[in-house]
Structure 1
Amino acid sequence: MASFNLSKGDRFSLSKAAPGLSLVKIGMGWDPNDQPNGPDFDLDVSAFAIGSDFRIPSDSYFVFYGQVNMGNKVEDTTEKGLYRPLTEDGAITGAIDDPDGRRSDGDDDEDMFIDLSRVNSKVEQIIICCTICKYPNDAKKDRRTLSLNFGQVEDCYIRIVNESTGEEILRYDLKDQYTNEDAVEFGRLFRVDNTWEFEAMGRAHTGSLQTLVDMYT
């Protein structure tokens, strides 16, 4: 099956494209434009699984790397000793933090896995986000990270892969140049009756991850 390239605002029926689809990989990638002796670029992938009230049903449905310190975790299947965050229904397995954005050719910088058949019935949509880690949450406590934004990042994309076959179903390349924003809602999976669809959102914010936390928790 050929992969579909989406544009901002496009919607795509996963259930129609791949009948019986259950486990999907959400892969994301980017290339930061680092400056010599500049601050480190650390982008983080997170997800908010929200209900009809646009809020997460419980803390575990805010899926980000810090959840592994709160007990909601599972060991990675390929990297022993590394853990991924996990929702309480076992449906969403979050990303392992990649602090530098330097992937090997053909690899995603970060990925997460969603078993669509196990998602809590209270969850109506799953919003996939990417944010720039900034002071004081950055590893080196570098105040210069406060000036970083998505205008300094290239080749941002999100893609969905049928994990059972390895086939890429769709891809969305972020085209907008966000010169002030440091948080982007890349896309969302949402229920339509008993099926799942995906929307390429490309909605940007300032305030990094905290802005999204304030919106959905």
Structure 2
Amino acid sequence: MISLAKGQKIDLTKSNPGLSKILVGLGWDTNKYDGGHEFDLDVVAFLVNAEGKATGDSAFIFYNNKQDASGSVILSGDNRTGEGDGDDEYIKINLSGVPAEVDKIAVCINIHDAATRSQNFGQVSNAYVRVVNDETNEELMRYDLGEDYSIETGLVACEIYRHNGEWKFNAVGSGFQGGLASLAATYGLNAG
């Protein structure tokens, strides 16, 4: 298993011949806070083309749209607490089934209703993303997202992208503010 640093890019399929089904697992803990609200972190994904724009409304994978039109990207259920060990939410990706126009799958974590609840990633710890071979259950890589977030209400954890006919992994770890609507807008969608 390979441990990655922010900004590091590594190939998935080249060094793992025959790899086609992966599980992208994400986990986190919330620090003690007395705001009186539950924390509800959600994993979301965007299937984007070479121009960095989502390939349509079904290319926005979230709790109300758990898979893309091709069925190659599927989101697990909505874990509303983040308690316990292991992945809190995950996305299964069938790399060989991803439509040709999809250049990249951006995997993000968003704090639901963060502005209303006065919550941010400064109150979240031990966040990570990992990639598992879904057929052998072998963990291929892990990226610990670190603790250097304060006011951000979401973050782009990683990107799974095509490069010269192979799939690669990019440890992004980039925070953002403004909730899902703001994030969707960066990928050319109106999540009104």
1:214 aligns with 2:188: no
Unpaired segments of 5 or more residues in structure 1?
68-84, 137-142
User: TM-score normalized by structure 2?
Assistant: 0.94
Aligned length: 188
Map 1:112-131 → 2, pairs under 5 A: 112-131=91-110
The verdict on how the C-alpha distance between 1:15 and 1:98 changes in structure 2, with shifts beyond 3 A counting, is same
Corresponding position: 1:185 with 2:156: yes
- Provide the alpha-carbon RMSD of the alignment: 1.3
C-alpha displacement at 1:17, in angstroms? 2.5
Aligned to 1:35: 33
Q: Deviations over 1:77-121 (max 9, x none)?
A: xxxxxxxx1111111001311111113x3x210011000000000
Which of 116, 132, 138 aligns to 2:111? It is: 132
Q: Distance in 2 between matches of 1:176 and 1:185?
A: 14
Residue 17 of structure 2 aligns to a residue whose secondary structure is coil
2-structure distance, mates of 1:207, 1:94: 22
Q: Which amino acid is the alignment partner of residue 134 of structure 1?
A: D
Alpha-carbon separation, structure 1, partners of 2:35 and 2:174 = 30
**Pairs within 5 Å for 1:10-49:** 10-36=8-34, 38-49=36-47
Question: Could you give the per-residue CA deviations for residues 167-199 of structure 1, whole angstroms, max 9, x where no partner exists?
Answer: 000000011421110010000011012100000
Counterpart secondary structure, 1:214:
helix
CA shift at 1:210, angstroms? 1.6
Moved over 3 A (4+): none
Instruction: Tell me the SS of whatever aligns to 2:14.
Output: helix
Between structures 1 and 2, the one with greater helix share: 1
CA contact (8 A) 1:46 1:95 kept: no
Determine if contact 1:43/1:99 at 8 Å carries over to the other structure: yes
Partners of 1:93 and 1:170 lie apart in 2 by 20
Give ranges in structure 2 of 5+ residues lacking alignment: none
- The structural deviation recorded for 1:46 is 0.4
TM-score (normalised: structure 1): 0.83
Given candidates 77, 86, 90, the residue that maps to 2:67 is: 86
CA contact (8 A) 1:51 1:122 kept: yes
Aligned-residue identity in percent = 37
CA distance in structure 1 between the partners assigned to 2:184 and 2:78 by the alignment: 18
